A = this chain, B = another copy of it.
Amino acid sequence: MSKNNASSDPSVEALKLDNQLCFALYGAANRMTRLYRPLLDAMGLTYPQYLVMLVLWESSPRTVGALGEALDLDSSTLTPLLKRLEAAGLVERHRDPEDERRVIVDLSEAGRALREQAKAIPEQMICALDLQMDAISTLRERLKVLAR
């Protein structure tokens, strides 16, 4: 009875949404941003902006290029996002005097201060996900392999 809903043609079966890793990933990622939204709204951040702040909280200043490397995003995504963070007073941007091609992004005082508020987020998310920590870690590590 294991072939209850299985077509005899494997290429037909493979096209079913339910069998697609890509859709599971797509759906899970969309859900995740929706789950974060209420928490991030309270901090005035979007989800990608939050990821940028995570990188900067870990180590700053960084160049736009270094941020892009960490997040696997390019300048066409980051430049406007960073301008919005700058307009919000969370980061400062200036050309590197050593090499005027580079733009150095640093946290402002407000940006640094926001970290205290952010510290509560991971725990709230872990609760919201309702998964064991080891399940989360396992999934995370497998996804990293996928994003290699």
Q: Are B115 and A129 within 8 A (Cβ)? A: no
Q: Given the complex of chains A and B, what is the CA–CA distance between A143 and B11 in angstroms?
A: 23
Interface 1/0s, chain A 1-28, versus B by CB < 8 A? Answer: 0000000000110111101111111111
Give the chain B neighbours of A145 by CB distance below 8 A. Answer: 131
Report whether over half of chain A's contact residues are helix, strand or loop; otherwise say mixed: helix
Report how far A122 CA is from B54 CA in the complex, Å: 35
A139 to B139, CA, bound (A): 7
Given A11-B119, A51-B17, A146-B139, A25 contacting B26 (CB threshold 8 A): no
Copies in the complex: 2
Is A146 touching B129 in the complex (CB atoms < 8 A)? yes
Instruction: Check A17–B143 contact: CB distance below 8 A.
Output: no
CB distance from A59 to the nearest CB of B (A): 10
Determine if B147 and A28 form an interchain contact, defined as CB atoms under 8 angstroms apart.
yes
List 17 contacting pairs A-B, 8 Å CB cutoff, sorted by A.
A11-B122, A11-B123, A14-B122, A15-B118, A15-B121, A17-B54, A17-B55, A19-B122, A21-B32, A24-B141, A25-B29, A25-B32, A26-B33, A30-B73, A30-B147, A135-B142, A139-B146
**Known interface pairs A16-B54, A17-B51, A24-B147; 7 further A-B residue pairs with C-beta atoms within 8 A, sorted by A's residue number:** A11-B119, A12-B119, A15-B57, A17-B70, A25-B143, A31-B146, A131-B146
